[in-house]
């Protein structure tokens, strides 16, 4: 029991702690958080702590402690007349990588689509760590073998390399249903396999990175056909399939069929400039309507879990409810059961333990609570561990906006939505680093910012790029 045994880590990993000290619960003159502790271990020059089994242990311990803090925080909510905590629920979305976290990402992307319209392109970029000599050399240096030939290094092809899913909006892009839009698609996307005489370098890139080869992931759910629709049929001209057509459904939401010859039936979509620069596998798809992008969102952003997870979690929660334990134990067991069923790669472990962002955006997304004023929640303000009041929210700041025109903004005729999109609070000191703040920090741009002053003297910052609400 890690709560009772302070030396649990030293005993479990005795070969990493031969002297039995300096573990997670060691008394230190300067207190550090569990996340900082495990980050120091993973990034240490002592590579023994970079073992895959220790990475999973570190992430499991961090999640265990974070769930305890989350349950403790939800129990300190506002109490009703009978002393019962109102609106008791858990915010697992603050736990990066959890299903709730990705549901929040899904909701924010939906907000982007409703605010900005459908994206123009959906791009996937896969890390080429197996073929990049620079990365192979870095692996050898980290492993204490700097003199070995990186081209002779054997790497596991099923190591779960990092990849990026990118949604791009292009200003004034033509409609893909128009002739101009089809020409635009042919200018940006290609599946062409040039001959050796025509372009030997591009042919080598396409052959190495863009030729599809069937794997076990092609036939999920016992499907007899490849879910990526390979081999593709020969097509004389690029065409668009209507959203209601059988072709649209058969292609999993891909409504565009590129011009291709019989020799190119295994070639995946690519952009020539990106492929030459990135030198790794990629995919690029046009997004022509809200219906089509919904397929991409569901497939790529929601991080679908195995089919048996929901049944297992539901049965576990039913069993937990039958147990005669207090509410805190019920919540803790439910959370740990949900986290236990998640599939996590070693790469994700490192990303989370090393404060690396899992997602980022060129715009921030702001949530406006549309409930009635008496039903909105507010954050308590503490001083010396005592609640001394409530923190200001966007509604109060909007009511105290300047009364005259300032910085080119007509505040007298400005609605709440426009105010939230263009302004954000100015804080005198930066909040402490936390698990959920890592992705937000990745979006910040270190540029000089303009200020406005509210009628009660606090200041707000004018956003460089309007937010999405």
Per-residue pLDDT, 160:
59
18 occurs within a structural domain: no
> 287 and 249, same structural domain?
yes
> 289 and 309, same structural domain?
no
> 192 and 250, same structural domain?
yes
> 68 and 87, same structural domain?
yes
87 occurs within a structural domain: yes
> How many folded domains does the chain comprise?
3
Measured CA to CA, the distance from residue 88 to residue 75 in angstroms comes to 7
pLDDT by 10s per residue, the chain, length 469 = 677 788 888 888 988 999 988 888 888 899 888 888 999 998 888 888 888 889 989 988 888 888 888 777 665 554 444 444 444 445 667 778 777 787 788 888 888 888 888 888 888 888 877 677 777 787 777 777 777 776 665 555 445 577 888 888 998 888 888 889 899 999 999 999 988 888 999 999 999 888 888 887 787 766 777 877 788 888 888 888 776 666 666 666 677 888 888 888 888 999 999 999 888 889 998 887 655 565 556 456 555 555 556 666 667 667 766 765 667 777 777 777 777 777 788 888 888 888 888 888 888 988 888 888 887 877 777 777 777 788 888 898 899 988 888 888 888 889 999 999 999 888 776 655 556 566 665 555 556 678 888 888 888 888 888 999 8
366 occurs within a structural domain: no
Do residues 127 and 136 touch, judged by C-beta distance below 8 A?
no
> 240 and 311, same structural domain?
no
> 341 and 389, same structural domain?
no
> 256 and 191, same structural domain?
yes
Measured CA to CA, the distance from residue 215 to residue 159 in angstroms comes to 15
> 450 and 396, same structural domain?
yes
> 196 and 290, same structural domain?
yes
Cis ω for the linkage preceding 311 (within 30 of 0): no
141 occurs within a structural domain: no
368 occurs within a structural domain: no
Per-residue pLDDT, 75:
59
Do residues 58 and 350 touch, judged by C-beta distance below 8 A?
no
Last residue within a domain, chosen from 354, 388, 417: 354
Domain hosting 279: range is: 119-127+162-300
390 occurs within a structural domain: yes
395 occurs within a structural domain: yes
> 254 and 228, same structural domain?
yes
367 occurs within a structural domain: no
Per-residue pLDDT, 83:
46
Q: What is the pTM of this model?
A: 0.80
Per-residue pLDDT, 251:
63
> 346 and 285, same structural domain?
no
Per-residue pLDDT, 445:
55
Last residue within a domain, chosen from 300, 323, 339: 300
Do residues 140 and 47 touch, judged by C-beta distance below 8 A?
no
> 166 and 272, same structural domain?
yes
């Amino acid at each position: 029991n890690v709560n009772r045994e302070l030396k649990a880590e030293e005993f479990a990993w005795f070969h990493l702690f031969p002297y039995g000290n300096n573990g997670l619960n060691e008394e230190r003159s300067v207190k550090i958080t569990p996340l900082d502790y495990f980050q120091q271990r993973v990034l240490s020059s002592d590579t023994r702590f970079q073992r895959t089994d220790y990475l999973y242990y570190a992430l499991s311990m961090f999640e265990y402690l974070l769930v305890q803090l989350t349950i403790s925080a939800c129990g300190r909510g506002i109490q009703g007349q009978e002393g019962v905590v109102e609106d008791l629920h858990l915010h697992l979305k603050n736990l990066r990588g959890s299903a709730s976290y990705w549901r929040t990402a899904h909701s924010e992307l939906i907000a982007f689509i409703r605010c900005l319209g459908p994206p123009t392109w959906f791009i996937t970029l896969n890390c080429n760590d197996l073929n990049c000599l620079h990365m192979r050399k870095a692996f050898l240096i980290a492993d204490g073998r700097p003199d070995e030939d990186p081209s002779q290094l054997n790497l596991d092809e099923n190591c779960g390399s990092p990849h990026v899913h990118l949604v791009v909006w292009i200003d004034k892009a033509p409609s893909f249903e128009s002739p101009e839009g089809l020409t635009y698609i042919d200018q940006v996307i290609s599946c062409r396999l040039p001959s050796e005489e025509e372009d030997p370098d591009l042919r080598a890139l396409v052959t190495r990175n863009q030729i599809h080869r069937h794997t076990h992931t092609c036939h999920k759910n016992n499907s007899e056909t490849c879910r990526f629709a390979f081999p593709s049929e020969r097509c004389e001209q690029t065409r668009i399939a209507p959203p209601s057509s059988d072709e649209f459904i058969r292609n999993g939401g891909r409504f565009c069929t590129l011009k291709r010859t019989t020799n190119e039936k295994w070639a995946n979509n690519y952009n020539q400039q990106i492929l030459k620069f990135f030198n790794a596998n990629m995919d690029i798809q046009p997004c022509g309507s809200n219906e089509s992008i919904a397929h991409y969102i569901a497939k790529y952003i929601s991080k679908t879990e195995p089919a048996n997870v929901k049944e297992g979690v539901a049965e576990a929660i039913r069993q937990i409810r039958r147990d005669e334990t207090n509410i805190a134990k019920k919540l803790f067991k439910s959370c740990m059961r949900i986290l236990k069923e998640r599939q996590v790669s070693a790469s994700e472990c490192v990303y989370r333990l090393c404060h690396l962002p899992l997602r980022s955006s060129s715009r921030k997304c702001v949530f406006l609570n549309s409930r009635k004023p008496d039903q909105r929640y507010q954050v308590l303000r503490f001083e010396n561990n005592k609640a001394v009041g409530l923190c200001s929210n966007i509604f109060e700041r909007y009511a105290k906006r300047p009364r005259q025109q300032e910085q080119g903004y007509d505040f007298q005729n400005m609605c709440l939505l426009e105010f939230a999109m263009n302004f954000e609070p100015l804080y005198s000191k930066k909040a402490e680093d936390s698990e959920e703040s890592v992705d937000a920090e990745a979006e910040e741009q270190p540029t000089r910012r303009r200020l406005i002053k509210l009628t009660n003297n606090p200041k707000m910052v004018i956003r460089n790029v309007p937010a999405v609400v």
